[in-house]
Structures are given as structure tokens and as C-alpha cells.
Amino acid sequence: MNIGQAAAESGLATKTVRYYEEIGLVIPARYTGNDYRNYSATNVEHLRFLQRARAVGFSLDVCRELLALYCDSERRSAEVKVLVLDKIQQIETQLHTLSALKSTLLGMASKCAGDDSADCPIMETFAAPMKSIMPFMLVEPNHE
């Protein structure tokens, strides 16, 4: 099967499928005669697996682990579960961070008239001296 169809069947972009080969996740055979990639049913199954795992937010590094577990008939389901529980933890952290940011921003917006005047409490907040401790200083920025 050509890359285009493999991509379509797995729900990935063609470029993404090539990228996954480049980083050693799913490596297809090649047709003899031309340079085209030839994806087997198993290859496509693995691509689909990766699409699902990415869709729930796992990094490619973790996806690599998950795929290895998927292929390992000797796996312990405990190993899989740990990865999922870790991810849930991460998401909870992000949820807290984002909630805090949202509160901060809502507080700012509520104080700003939002009219034609230049007066703006939001700008003042951003310019305020260090010594006044502001809520958002206690929160990590959303490095994602």
C-alpha cells in the first residue's frame, strides 16, 4: 500500500507518516522498481495506534513506549496503566495552571473600561514594580 492510502487509513497526514519513519516509529518496506514506500497491514495498524495515542495527548516519546508495549506479548498491563496515570497527572497540572491564568486575566479584564480612553489597569498591572506580589507570579507559564 502506498503512503497516501496508509495515511488516509490511519488518519494521519502523509508528511507525518514520513516523519514517523524518519524517527524510527513505523518503517515500511519499499517496492522493488521504484522508491515508493510499501505499507503492510501491520504498518497501518501501528500508524493508527500512534494516531490514537497522539490524539489523547501522549508525546511521541511516550507513544514510542506505548507502541513497544503494544507489540510486546509479554507486557504487563501495569506498565501501560502507569503511563496513562502519569499523563492524567500532567493534565491535572495543566488544568490548574490554566485556571489560575484565566482567573488572573478575568480579574484584569474586569477592571478595564475597554473604551476610547488610554487609561488601562491592565497595562498598569504589567508595568507594576516587582515588589507588589501579583497572583500570576505564583503560577508557571503555560509551556506546552
Using CB under 7 A as the binding rule, whether residue 5 contacts DNA is answered as yes
Backbone φ and ψ of 30, nearest 5°: -120, 145
Largest CA distance in the chain: 71
Using CB under 7 A as the binding rule, whether residue 46 contacts DNA is answered as no
Interacting residue with a second copy among 1, 14, 48, 64 (CB under 8 A): 48
Q: Which three cell numbers stand for residue 14?
A: 502523509
Q: Are 20 and 63 in contact (CB under 8 A)?
A: no
Among residues 70, 55, 51, the alpha carbon closest in space to that of 10 is found at 51
Which residues would be at the binding site for a second copy (CB under 8 A)?
9, 11, 45, 48-49, 52-57, 66, 69-70, 72-78, 80-82, 84-85, 87-88, 91-92, 94-95, 98-99, 101-102, 104-106, 108-109, 112-120, 122-123, 125-128, 130, 134, 136-137, 139, 141-142, 144
